Each structure stands twice: as structure tokens, then as C-alpha cells.
Amino acid sequence: MFVILVYDMGEKRVAKALKRCRKYLNWVQNSVFEGEISETNLAKLKMELDKILVDDEDSVIIYTLRTTHYSKREIMGLRKGGQDLII
């Protein structure tokens, strides 16, 4: 499956979240990741992030797409990481 993951975490936890997300997904820009991931690895990633986040301060949003055939990606402004991956 293809996922887009976005997080908003406290300053002290951002580096830890970045490290965990980069293990499984491609970095796109600040706090945004995307890529193909198995259900098993997504479950692992979610467990790792759950250990880091503080429920009443942080948030993680995961968009799951079964296929990328009907999607389009458009970048405006400064181009950051993950430019080779086009959905």
C-alpha cells in the first residue's frame, strides 16, 4: 500500500520521529513522508511512533492509498527530499 504520513511533534521528539519514519518511508519535506509500505511494516512504524508521541501534545496523520493510479502530485515552491517518487 502507499501511505502519506504527516506528524506534528514537540521539539524534543521531532528527531526521534524523523529517524523512525526514514526507516520505512521516503522523506518529502519537514514532517512529511510517503512511500510503499507493507501492512506489517506500517504496524511496526505506528508502534514505534506511539512510543515517542505524547497524546495531548503531538499528532500523526496517515493517509492510506490502495493504488496511486488515479493520483497526481504537484510541487509548488522549494523542492525538498523525495523528488524521484511521483505518485
Detail the residues annotated as belonging to a binding site for Mg(2+).
8
Instruction: Evaluate whether 8 touches 57 at the Cβ level (below 8 Å).
Output: no
3-state secondary structure (DSSP) of residue 18: helix
Handedness of CA 45, 49, 55, 57 (dihedral sign): negative
Binding residues: 8
Measured CA to CA, the distance from residue 26 to residue 33 in angstroms comes to 5
